[in-house]
Structure 1
Amino acid sequence: MTNDTNSECGSDRTMNYGKEKVAVYRTYATPLEDVRPIPESSFEGRDNTILGLDVRVQVDGEAFLPSFSEGDNSMVVATDSMKNFVLHQAGEYEGATVEGFLHFVGSEFLDTYSQMETVRISAEELPFDARPVPGDDGFESSDLVFRVSDNESAFGEFRLGRTEDGPLVEEQTSGVTGLELVKVKGSSFTGYVQDEYTTLPEREDRTLYISLDIFWTYDDPEDALGDEPQRYVPAEQVRDIAHVVFHEADSNSIQDLIYQIGLRVLERFPQLESVSFEANNRTWIRERDDLEGDAKVLREPPRPTGFQQFSMDRSDLEGEASR
């Protein structure tokens, strides 16, 4: 989510380095099973026949200062070695989730290299779709043949610090990124400021096209690992909540829509501490609306495009309940 290159080492100094775009693929990883069902989703688990990840690792520690200030690399772990370390650990990981893998690898970095004081490790899922093949009762999903997917993907990030008792989770974020959703009717945008700069007409009913990234944090970061599947929040279920709320809600803005999605996510998953969004408005422009019924001809919007960022926590859900 953050993927920032700045991490403080010491009181004021920014000093870190790492490796990114580490593509790692694991076949026949441990399946994710026994997740808690929710009304908005048919997702019950994944077989993890292919688990693909695009990993980013960032480390810091005072021991690395001489490499910057004196050209002394005696404490530096080469970023190529970091890449190999991540690839090796993909074969050692026995869990079933993106977050669990990241926590495992980050902890192994701290256990292996004492000069690393903190590790920030994140990953975007590289998703694959099983292809339909003929079966005994019609078409069914192949357990052998997959295609690279352009759909949304799961996201995870941990910042782990070193303590006497072992790695400590300092920050944790889960997410689902790259959702692209279009609702052909049932969305509006009215009542906004009208002044000499306003050229956008109000829309009582518009075709709304958004891209959306959703992120969440757990009250207990251990729940993010998936060791207790009933307390794990799958990206697929959060994605499906977004689909259902978009279908149900007659929203008057994207801001209104993402707030309603956030409330539903917090309601369904009491183990979550917060949820946040980044949305982008890609709504098509009406070229013709003189056709019969609801038919329209639309075109791509010009740049620039609008965006929305919003975060919320359990106090928002409690506030809604008290209304």
Structure 2
Amino acid sequence: MSYSNETDTELESTDQRTMNYGKEKVAVYRTYANPLEGVRTIPESSFDGRDNILFGLEVRVQFEGEEFLPSFSEADNSKVVATDSMKNFVLHQAGEYEGATAEGFLHFVGTEFLKTYPHVEAVKMSAKEYPFDQRMVPGDDGFEPSDLVFRVSDDESAFGEVFLERKEDDSRIKEQTSGITGIELVKVKGNSFTGYVQDEYTTLPEREDRALYISLDIFWTYSDPEDALGEEPQRYVPAEQVRDIAQVVFHEVDSNSIQDLIYQIGLRVLERYSQLESVSFEANNRTWIEVREDLEGDAKVLREPPRPTGYQQFSMDRSDLEE
């Protein structure tokens, strides 16, 4: 009996062990990938697809499996796939992928990893998309987007993550997350911050109308993770449309806090996409500080806020719509 208890304890400890390794910051670029076509349009966005003439990702690979324990505990690398090989594998598969989305590519590469290395129990693939802008060049009817020249953009980046685990002779999606990061928006009026706790530590004055500068990351999950792959474009949620929802709601809503603003954005996202299970946020408050109050009308002179800055994290699901 004593031996059995020790074994149970050992197994429980092993189940809770963190053990993985992989490669990150793998930059991969593909020209003339398949275009994303047939997505459903929404009132808040003009986005209806992308050409994918230039498709770039920064990829992270994570391998998991009990077979890797000897590499940590005994310096036995007989089951270790070199991370340099992982990089080369990702680069090669970029030429094999026939889909049109970041999530689809991650799923494709993760599935191929599990097929190729049977001792790997699970693989987590994540990536941020490199944004590129087509440059405007003279055409027959004025200026038009070039199909050859692109600008490396500092704009928002789409994000995807797919966690695949081995299931008998196949694999299944255990977890999935899509997102868009690095949204930065400024609204010059129509924002307030009032009614908060006032005590001996309060120095911030209430503001009935303020210029609001926020940075925002938005993430979402699907009820059916397969919808994230883009194989049925009508079920796919493009990051560009979620970005556009955020800026439209920011324009429309007179918010009394950033918390209120992101809640309204979340409601709109869940209303537009019935296939989504949840939406979550990380927001950062960079509200500029007014330095003059003697200007007429809505004119203001503003400066950057000092550090530290505030942040908000929040998640929602379909139950919020019912409420």
With the shorter chain as reference, the TM-score category is over 0.9
Residue 250 of structure 2 aligns to a residue whose secondary structure is helix
How far off is 1:289 after superposition? 2.5
How far off is 1:9 after superposition? 9.7
Aligned partner of 1:79 in structure 2 is 83
Residue 203 of structure 1 aligns to a residue whose secondary structure is coil
How many residue pairs match? The answer is: 312
- Identity, in percent, stands at 82
1: CA distance, partners of 2:169 / 2:316: 32
Aligned partner of 1:122 in structure 2 is 126
Aligned partner of 1:293 in structure 2 is 297
How far off is 1:12 after superposition? 2.0
1:249-303, CA deviations, whole angstroms, 9 ceiling, x for partnerless residues?
Answer: 0000000000000000000000000000000001111111311111111111110
Are 2:261 and 1:232 equivalent residues in the alignment?
no
Q: Report if the CA contact (8 A) 1:41-1:240 is conserved.
A: yes
In structure 2, relative to structure 1, the CA distance for the partners of 1:9 and 1:112 (3 Å cut) is farther
How far off is 1:10 after superposition? 4.3
Are 2:56 and 1:63 equivalent residues in the alignment?
no
The one of 172, 175, 199 aligned to 1:171 = 175
Q: Tell me the C-alpha RMSD between the 2 structures.
A: 1.0
Q: Please say which structure displays the higher CA radius of gyration.
A: 2
Residue 187 of structure 1 aligns to a residue whose secondary structure is coil
Residue 141 of structure 1 aligns to a residue whose secondary structure is strand
The one of 249, 252, 263 aligned to 2:253 = 249
2: CA distance, partners of 1:242 / 1:132: 26
2: CA distance, partners of 1:289 / 1:230: 50
Q: TM-score, normalised by structure 2?
A: 0.95
Are 2:207 and 1:203 equivalent residues in the alignment?
yes
Aligned partner of 1:273 in structure 2 is 277
2: CA distance, partners of 1:159 / 1:258: 27
User: Please, which runs of 5 or more residues in structure 1 have no aligned partner?
Assistant: 1-7
1: CA distance, partners of 2:290 / 2:120: 55
Letter in 1 for 2:117: Y
| 1:1-323 matches, cutoff 5 A | 10-319=14-323
- Following TM superposition, the consecutive aligned residue runs of length 4 or more in structure 1 with deviations greater than 3 angstroms are none
Q: TM-score, normalised by structure 1?
A: 0.95
Residue 210 of structure 2 aligns to a residue whose secondary structure is strand
Letter in 2 for 1:255: Q
Letter in 2 for 1:266: L
Letter in 2 for 1:85: F
1:225-267, CA deviations, whole angstroms, 9 ceiling, x for partnerless residues?
Answer: 0000000000000000001000000000000000000000000
Q: Report if the CA contact (8 A) 1:9-1:15 is conserved.
A: no
Residue 123 of structure 2 aligns to a residue whose secondary structure is strand
1:160-204, CA deviations, whole angstroms, 9 ceiling, x for partnerless residues?
Answer: 100114111110000000000000000000000000000000000
